[in-house]
Amino acid sequence: MLLNKNDQITQKYDVVIIGGGLGGLTAANKLAKNGRKVLLLESHDKLGGFATWFHRRKHIFDVSLHGFPVGMVKTCRKYWSKAIADKIIQLKRVRFINPLYQIETDFTVEDFTSKLVNDFKIPKEQVDNFFNLIMNMNYYDNKEMTNGELLESFFPGRKDVHRFLIEPIVYANGSTMEDPAITYGIVFSNFMSKGVFTFQGGTDLVIQMMQEELLKNNVDIRLKSKVEKIAVENNICQGVVVNGEFVASKSVLSNGNLIGTIFNMVGEDKFKPEFIEKVKKVRLNTSSCQVYMGIRQGETIEDIGDLIFYSEAGEFKTDELLSMNTTSRTFSLYYPRLRPQLADAGYTIVASTNARYEDWAKLSKEDYEAKKQELIDATLVSLEKIIPDVRKKIDYIEAATPLTIKRYTHHERGSSFGTKHEGLDVSMKLHHEISGLFHTGSVGIIMSGWLGAANYGVIQSYEVDNYLDKQN
Ligand SMILES: Cc1cc2nc3c(=O)[nH]c(=O)nc-3n(C[C@H](O)[C@H](O)[C@H](O)COP(=O)(O)OP(=O)(O)OC[C@H]3O[C@@H](n4cnc5c(N)ncnc54)[C@H](O)[C@@H]3O)c2cc1C
């Protein structure tokens, strides 16, 4: 049932889920299908978390629908519905434009292999060996080797090849050359197996279909409900406090930021000092900026590809990517075909850059506005190099910064992809510290992105289920 913000909640739930991002939503659906009484509390006025969209004039802007791996089809079919899975389609044209190369790919292992052999002139055996190694990596492998070391060992001195292989992942989950190679291997092989996919109908449709599915499976949903506190007594989770009201539940699954869950919603004093020491060592991932551009109704733009990795930097460096003056960004192009259900669907373009929260947070109000305008101007200058007459076709333009992300999702420092790899262990062991308290949502790089978050929701729903079974 969709509850009203002011509805009094008197019943005790099996599980309260804090946050309706893809992790929380998928866990809610799985637990409800298993017959659990589930309450989903979301602070925003709609579900989706980062998987969100917004309307400006006649435009609909998708915030994080740039591409996800084929695995999303199976996850949606198994844990959501066939109707949702059937709307997932492949992005046909992924392009790279930078001073070192201009390449178009369908993002499959076969095509990447062919590009590495034919364009980059790498012996086929060397390419096959590389893919064999990364396709077989798993979370328990050696975490000492970094992405930079992995690439250098297979393709020594080939900065162009390193860039070609790592650039997509840097945008896909905030990995850097300094992160452990296992996270790269797991995510890259996921992405590379059969291409990059999107949801036909747009983010608004997939979240609407998910909400309908949740309600059909008897999940109670309350929007505009920011959980202030997770109630814990004698190391056992008792429920949550939301809008000043206590809601009792046998367990709580937080889809909020891991660090925020521990320090803000539970409180440091409820955990063992050794655990808190470990939590303090968890590094957050970086954040993002985006520029949203709407094309005037009636105007068209030619098909120049769906996803373009664009950069004017001669060398691929983490610092350049994160700098406020970066020339490296992705352009996602949304043609009317994305929303066939709408008669007047138009064209929108979303540019994304990686960014550091602190660079934006330290600015005065005036400097912040000026930097936002600089970001918009720099984005337009780059885009004009791909679509020369685009400026005069745009009738709406707006930018989001790490501060915008923090405001909307409550992620510490506007982190786009949760935590670095060490966050996964903390997230998975939360219930060892406090009985009945679980976490799901972007952590550990591999559990982020649409697929990672949804799959982690499933994994944690099993943990909640086991716990509830033991209680009964
Ligand atoms: C700019 C950008 C582009 C991206 N592009 C892609 C992409 O192309 N492909 C891809 O696969 N992934 C992409 N991602 C990542 C992907 O969107 C996320 O990893 C994924 O959606 C995160 O899901 P989650 O379950 O971690 O929850 P989140 O999306 O983080 O949602 C958490 C939810 O919890 C709610 N919440 C938090 N605290 C509380 C509280 N106290 N009370 C109530 N509710 C609370 C928040 O409001 C939010 O709705 C992108 C991310 C960003 C930022």
Cβ–ligand 1 distance for 181 under 6 Å, the answer no
The answer to whether the beta carbons of residues 47 and 223 sit under 8 Å apart is yes
| Residue 103 lies inside a defined structural domain of this protein | no
Distances (CA, A) of 367 to 147, 272, 361, 438: 35, 42, 11, 40
| Residue 199 lies inside a defined structural domain of this protein | no
Predicted confidence at residue 92, as pLDDT, reads 85
Distances (CA, A) of 161 to 57, 184, 466: 42, 15, 46
Q: How confident is the model at residue 421 (pLDDT cuts 50, 70, 90)?
A: confident
Answer positive or negative: Cα dihedral of 50, 86, 78, 240: positive
Pairing of strands 245-254, 13-18: parallel
Tell me, in angstroms, the distance from the centre of ligand 1 to residue 182's CA.
23
Q: How confident is the model at residue 142 (pLDDT cuts 50, 70, 90)?
A: low
Cβ–ligand 1 distance for 290 under 6 Å, the answer yes
Q: Is the pLDDT of residue 234 over 90?
A: yes
Tell me, in angstroms, the distance from the centre of ligand 1 to residue 409's CA.
7
Three-class secondary structure assignment of 183-228: HHHHHHHHHHCECCEEECCHHHHHHHHHHHHHHHCCCEEECCCCEE
The answer to whether the beta carbons of residues 186 and 455 sit under 8 Å apart is no
Q: Specify the 3-state DSSP secondary structure of 140.
A: coil
CA pair distance 76, 209, nearest whole angstrom: 11
Encoded tokens for 390:
């685009």
Closest listed residue to residue 175, CA positions, set 350, 360, 417: 417
Best residue among 22, 41, 50, 420 to mutate for probing ligand 1, ranked by most atoms within 8 Å of CB: 50
219 and 183 inside one domain: no
290 and 256 inside one domain: no
User: Of the candidates 162, 192, 222, which is a domain's last residue?
Assistant: 192
pLDDT digits (tens, 9 = 90+) for 358-400: 999 999 999 999 999 999 999 999 999 999 999 999 999 999 9
Tell me, in angstroms, the distance from the centre of ligand 1 to residue 299's CA.
32
Cβ–ligand 1 distance for 404 under 6 Å, the answer no
Predicted confidence at residue 364, as pLDDT, reads 97
User: Of the candidates 391, 409, 427, which is a domain's last residue?
Assistant: 409
pTM: 0.93
Q: Which domain holds residue 151?
A: 108-192
| Stretch 304-326: mean pLDDT | 90
Nearest CA to ligand 1 atom 38: 256
- Return mean pLDDT, the chain: 92
Predicted confidence at residue 141, as pLDDT, reads 64
Tell me, in angstroms, the distance from the centre of ligand 1 to residue 291's CA.
18
233 and 249 inside one domain: yes
| Residue 148 lies inside a defined structural domain of this protein | yes
13 and 124 inside one domain: no
pLDDT digits (tens, 9 = 90+) for 66-104: 999 999 999 999 999 999 999 999 998 999 999 999 999
User: Of the candidates 389, 409, 429, which is a domain's last residue?
Assistant: 409
405 and 432 inside one domain: no
**What residues pair up with 146 in beta bridges, in sequence order?**
180
pLDDT digits (tens, 9 = 90+) for 264-298: 999 999 999 999 999 999 988 889 999 999 999 99
Domain count within the chain: 3
Lowest-confidence region among 7-21, 103-117, 135-149, 257-271:
135-149
Tell me, in angstroms, the distance from the centre of ligand 1 to residue 25's CA.
11
